Every structure is written in C-alpha cells, then in structure tokens.
Amino acid sequence: MPIEHSDATDLREPVTVALTGASGAQYGLRLIEALVAAEHRVWVMISKAAHLVIATETDEELPARPARLAEVLAERTGAASGQIRCFGREDWMAPVASGSGAPSSMVICPCSTGTLSAVATGASNNLIERAADVALKERRRLIMVPRETPFSAIHLEHMLALTRMGAVILPAAPGFYHQPQRIEDLVDFIVARILNQLGIEHRMMPRWGES
C-alpha cells in the first residue's frame, strides 16, 4: 500500500537507519520510506554486505557512493531535498559518530549477527557499529532487527546483553494473525512495530484491539 506524503516543509528530527547484511533488505527500505512519509529526516548507512543482499533480494542495485545513494533513495521515496543523508563506512566525521551529533533514535534493520556481535562487544570498526556504540553510551534509543534462524548461543547471549544495555531487540518475525495476503503485508508488520517503538504515528497496521 502506498504511503501518503505531506507537503510540509518543516522536517522532524532525524532517525538513523542502518541496513546490514542480514536477509530482509525490504524491511529497511520500507522503513526509510515510512520515515520519509512521516516527515522525519533520515540518516542512512548501508553496509557492503547489505548492498549485496539488496541486489540479491530486490530489483534494485543501490550505488555505494553516499551522495549518489542519497539521491537514489530520495527519488525512490519522494523525499524532500536534504531529507535523506547517507554516510560511508568510515565517515568518522559524520554526526552519528559522536554523542553531540547523533539523533535520539537509531534502527539497525535488518541487523546481521555480525553487526549484533560487534555492537554487543563495542567493536566500533565501522560507522554503523560506532553509531550504535554512541547510542548505547548516550542511553539513546537503539532498535535492532536481527534475522537469522536458528539462533546460536552466541547470538542469544549477544541479544540478552544488548537488551540489558537498553537496546530493543525486535526480530524480523512477522505475525500472521492479520491474515497477510502479500509479502508487503509481512514487511509492514515489522516496520509498523519499529514505528511503534519510535513513537511515530502510522496507518500501516492496526494496533491490537483496533479494527
């Protein structure tokens, strides 16, 4: 279902969205679309592995260069000029690399078990890991959407550690009680849950108890 866009020029606070190389690129791309429609600025990072997953799972092949990537994502989502900014793997000067510049919310969607592990241990070897590390140290909102099955003890231990540090682990595990008819319905189930966590109004999926 298309997301309605508004003409408003005043954009809301940025949300950082990182796509890593787990299956489920559609979740991350749809999340960016939903945040744009909700008039938020969106600061995007896409890992090298995520580019490969996007090329494998969708009809799209997104450019690696951040400036061009921002243009392509803006075209695809109808974003206003400057609404989407993209940062490269080692762009340590990006605002997300520091507590003084990072937004109040970051979502890693989908989140590979590799990135899960790196964030759980504070590796900060690339900008996605560093931005998540900043979110944790600053006690900001960090939502991680892992996708793997089955989970090993390592994955489960990292998820428990991250939950205890304040991150929200929101697995890409859509429910079926809304009788999904299309893949998009399953994608929207997860994206709606992420928006709920972010406190962003949406009409993607009725809340439980609503008709």
Q: Which residues bind ligand FMN (CB under 6 A)?
A: 20-23, 47, 49-50, 52-53, 56, 112-115, 147-148
Beta carbon of residue 91, minimum distance to ligand FMN (angstroms, whole number) = 15
Bin 64: left if φ > 0, else alpha if -120 < ψ < 50, else beta.
alpha
Separation between Cα atoms, residue 147 and residue 145, nearest integer Å: 7
Both structure tokens of 87: 């940062």
Is 113 annotated as belonging to a binding site?
A: yes
Residue 44 or 50: the one with the smaller Cβ distance to ligand FMN is 50
Both structure tokens of 89: 């793997």
Is 24 annotated as belonging to a binding site?
A: no
Pair 201, 146: CB distance under 8 Å: no
Beta carbon of residue 2, minimum distance to ligand FMN (angstroms, whole number) = 27
Bin 117: left if φ > 0, else alpha if -120 < ψ < 50, else beta.
alpha
Residue 32 or 50: the one with the smaller Cβ distance to ligand FMN is 50
Beta carbon of residue 157, minimum distance to ligand FMN (angstroms, whole number) = 15
Separation between Cα atoms, residue 74 and residue 32, nearest integer Å: 10
Beta carbon of residue 206, minimum distance to ligand FMN (angstroms, whole number) = 28
Is 177 annotated as belonging to a binding site?
A: yes
Residue 20 or 105: the one with the smaller Cβ distance to ligand FMN is 20
Strands 168-169 and 105-111: unpaired
DSSP single-letter state for residue 106: E
Is 99 annotated as belonging to a binding site?
A: no
Residue 117 or 196: the one with the smaller Cβ distance to ligand FMN is 117
Sequence ranges of the binding site for dimethylallyl phosphate: 177, 193
